[in-house]
Amino acid sequence: MPSHCQDPPACLFTNSVAAVTPENEFIISFQSDWYPDFMLYSQRKGLVMSPREDSKYSCMLISQYNFSTIVIVDRPPDTSNLLGIFNCFKSVELVESGIYKVKP
């Protein structure tokens, strides 16, 4: 668990995400607000999707980067499905609650 992470359950979640996301791949993180903590704690790069950004993404934008993990941090569990973001990927696999592995 990273020493700078002060919330043990959140730290375990970010460690799980880091374990399934190689350092050269990116995360799409669905969060209630835009804050970098999750990316910093997981030590990975990615795209934060808060409700303000929901209408701004496109499959064309997403296909430009090596996204391999979708994470539902603190939004409703069906958020990514409702937005249709799974349609941007050839395959989607639920790894554990809130963590999906995707293949472009």
Q: Tell me whether residue 1 is in a domain.
A: no
pLDDT of 17 reads 95
Q: Tens digit of pLDDT for each residue in 22-79?
A: 999 999 999 998 888 888 889 999 999 999 888 888 999 899 999 999 999 888 888 8
Q: Tell me whether residue 3 is in a domain.
A: no
Q: Tell me whether residue 75 is in a domain.
A: yes
Query: Which residue range is the domain that position 78 belongs to?
Result: 8-103
Domain count, the chain: 1
Q: Tell me whether residue 64 is in a domain.
A: yes
CATH number at residue 86: 3.40.1010
Element (H, E) at 26: strand 26-30
Q: Tens digit of pLDDT for each residue in 73-96?
A: 888 888 878 788 899 999 999 999
pLDDT of 1 reads 40
Residue 13 burial by Cβ neighbours in a 10 Å radius (0-12, 13-18, 19+): buried
